[in-house]
Amino acid sequence: MAEEAVLGFLEKHGEISDSGEFASERGIDHQELTNIIKSLHGFRLVDAQDIKRERWVLTEEGKTYAAAGSPEVLVFLAIPPEGISPVELQSKIDPSVFKIGRSQAIKNQWVEMGKQLVTRKVSNVQDKVQDLLIRVQNEQGIDPKEIDALKRRKLIVPQTWKGYSVRKGPNYAPKRKKFATDLTRDNLQRGDWKDLEFKEYNFSAKGQPIEGGHLHPLLKVRQQFKMIFLQMGFEEMPTNNFVESSFWNFDALFQPQQHPARDSHDTFFLQVPSMTKTLPEDYVEKVKRIHESGGYGSRGHEYDWKREEANKNLLRTHTTAVSSRMLYMLAQNGFAPKKYFSIDRVFRNEAVDRTHLAEFHQIEGLVCDRGLTLGDLIGVFYDFFTRLGMSKLKFKPAYNPYTEPSMEIFGYHEGLKKWVEIGNSGMFRPEMLLPMGLPEDVRVIAWGLSLERPTMILYGIDNIRDLFGHKVDLGLIKKNPLCRLGIE
């Protein structure tokens, strides 16, 4: 083995003058030998001194000329004694070889390049370039002027070779001792502790990196949104139920039972337990009535509303299901103006793509007070989104089954230098609010957005699978930067 070879050689000869020669004489890889020499030097078994040698090595082009001959000679040899037309000559040789060879052969005054005929100006030539390259390859000396000529044609480049001369070190031994790193129970029982030599402590060694916990980017951004809502005086809604009844998720929001969003192609319905058990019966009656025949000036949806449809359990498709529960309770426990928010997972049975999964985190805010107008809603948006760094907003009329009017919100993102859709919003319909028992002049303005979209933008992630799901790279979790939003 290479280590024994080094230590054994030093025992007999005292010195290895050149690690390169030592390696090539024994067929040892020089890189492997230098690693061993560095390790023996580290333990002071040997004393290694650097050796540096500058030498010339052939470039890929140089190797080609050394093997096949220089282009100028190849061009010369392709010209028959009687001469040849330029076109025919060019067809006989590789274009890159021809281009270089022709100009060099003219420079050497070996050929006459006539328009009709190319002829030789000498009877024969010697391929000095090839001879010189072979001498460099064999590490035979050549004239410095010749070196410059080959260097100019980029046929050779300088290479620094690093090796070692090696002598015995202060801790030299013909065989490296195994230093013990621990005193074990076996050592004590066997009694061989007496012969052990212990490795010195390396107090400057770095400790093992301590792995702490790491927050996922979504949780960092969620925390920032939470701070924004709290700074604006909003209270968080209890969203700790992924399973919801169709009643609270759809019917209470005046969303008709035949609406496509209530189809199993868009919604995850539960098989077990498939039906909810308890609903506030007097409220259910009012909801049934508003769907079937309207009320409070509304025509309703004019269809036969079915209780068993409302009883179906599902994975909530929006956190607005929680908002409807909260507004109902507010009406039942004595109305007072409120500002609520929620940030939690919602589930939709939709086609997934680069930016959409079957679930996402919805952020929702609502303000409930007497006499609120769309202007109040727009004012809240400016306050909220300015804290996100977007103070230029645009609004586009939209439709939601449970809000009228509704608006899509767009914000100009200074970083992306473009307008970005940043959410949806509206005023909850009277057909939703009045059956709950809220006073007639109470209005509720609400808006929603996702947590994933801003997080992907803030962290420069363009595929949602890199952010959420089983393919997430833990490195992203461990080393993603701080998120700072909502700073005045």
Residues that bind ligand FB9 (CB under 6 A): 320, 362, 364, 388-389, 400, 403, 413, 420-426, 446-450, 453-454, 457-458
Please name the amino acid found at residue 191: G
Max Cα distance, the chain (Å): 116
Nearer to ligand FB9, 72 or 344 (CB): 344
Nearer to ligand FB9, 280 or 389 (CB): 389
Cβ distance 93 to 188 under 8 Å?
no
Q: How far is the CB of 451 from ligand FB9 (least distance, A)?
A: 8
Strand spans (E) along 309-352: 313-315, 338-347
Q: How far is the CB of 33 from ligand FB9 (least distance, A)?
A: 57
Please name the amino acid found at residue 226: K
Q: How far is the CB of 345 from ligand FB9 (least distance, A)?
A: 12
Cβ distance 318 to 347 under 8 Å?
no
Nearer to ligand FB9, 57 or 261 (CB): 261
Helix or strand (DSSP H, E) at 6: helix 2-13
Q: How far is the CB of 59 from ligand FB9 (least distance, A)?
A: 51
Nearer to ligand FB9, 422 or 433 (CB): 422
Please name the amino acid found at residue 433: L
Q: In 258-302, which ranges are continuous DSSP H helix?
A: 281-293
Which candidate, 140, 143, 1, 150, places its Cα nearest to that of 65? 150
Nearer to ligand FB9, 19 or 400 (CB): 400
Please name the amino acid found at residue 382: Y
Task: Give φ, ψ of 33 to 5 degrees.
Answer: -65, -40
Nearer to ligand FB9, 62 or 448 (CB): 448
Strand spans (E) along 121-207: 156-168
Alpha-carbon span 2 to 40, nearest angstrom: 12
Q: How far is the CB of 294 from ligand FB9 (least distance, A)?
A: 22
| Closest residue to ligand FB9 using C-beta atoms | 448
Q: How far is the CB of 247 from ligand FB9 (least distance, A)?
A: 18
Nearer to ligand FB9, 45 or 327 (CB): 327
Q: How far is the CB of 469 from ligand FB9 (least distance, A)?
A: 16
